[in-house]
Amino acid sequence: MPWAGCLLRRRIHWLSSAARADCACSYVGLRVFRQGLQALPWDSLHTRHVSVHDLSNHEETTMATTAAAKKPSTASAKTPSARAPATAKRQKDACDLLDADHKAVKTLFKEYASLSESRSRSTTKKRQLADQICKELTVHATIEEEIFYPAVRKAIKDNDLLNEATVEHASAKDLIAQIKGMDPADELFDAKVTVLGEYIDHHVKEERTEMFVKARASKLDLVSLAGQLQQRKDELMAEEERKAVKPVAEMAMAP
């Protein structure tokens, strides 16, 4: 059968061609593979034998590096955190000094009210408290009229406010004179001290809410004025102490 031989020869030829193609592909692939191997950085791929001791040293180094990274530096730990600059404390001025007097006298009035409400028959304690109140108010009114009011009048130019304060002082002085001339056993003695306290509360409220506010809003040097007020107050207090001692000395010398 001639056709069978022909087919066999074609089959053998096809197989030979395929084999040659596979060999050609393999050859080209091998050349590419060899070129790639030659291009690799073989100097950096050298390896060495790693011992257990080397692994231990590597582990210790890694742990130390991690701990150092977590631990804050000594310099940063010791450095105090930056703080905002503190606001400078305001110096006490004339208004502070006068208001301190107001608070001190208010305390004395409260002590007197407690003594009066207790129905105490001791007139000595009442006399002492009343005299202390009168002395504090007299000195306070004097330094205001001599130093504070004239300075504030020029600074704020509010004559009505200053005139009213001066009239209130005159009324308070009148009550003070009455109290000083009365016997503590008098049934009106407590009433006069109480009314004086209420009168002073009203006067103080006006000074705090109006006069002091306007004085601080002006260009008046209230800090310097406070020094003048304190000096004059010390002088007047010394005079009041001498007045109080003189009658006692005269009574002791009396036959």
Residue pLDDT, tens place only, 214-244:
999 999 999 999 999 999 999 999 999 998 7
Q: What is the per-residue pLDDT for 118?
A: 81
Q: Which bin fits 81, alpha (ψ -120 to 50), beta or left (φ > 0)?
A: beta
Q: What is the per-residue pLDDT for 165?
A: 96
What is the Cβ-side half-sphere exposure of residue 107, based on CA atoms within 13 angstroms? 8
Tell me the residue length of the chain: 255
**pLDDT tier for residue 3 given thresholds of 50, 70 and 90:** very low
Distance (Å, rounded) from C-alpha 26 to C-alpha 40? 21
**pLDDT tier for residue 50 given thresholds of 50, 70 and 90:** very low
Q: Pick the closest to residue 194 from 124, 129, 121, 100 (CA basis).
A: 129
Domains of the chain are 94-245 (1.20.120.520)
**pLDDT tier for residue 89 given thresholds of 50, 70 and 90:** confident
Residue 23 has pLDDT above 50, yes or no: no
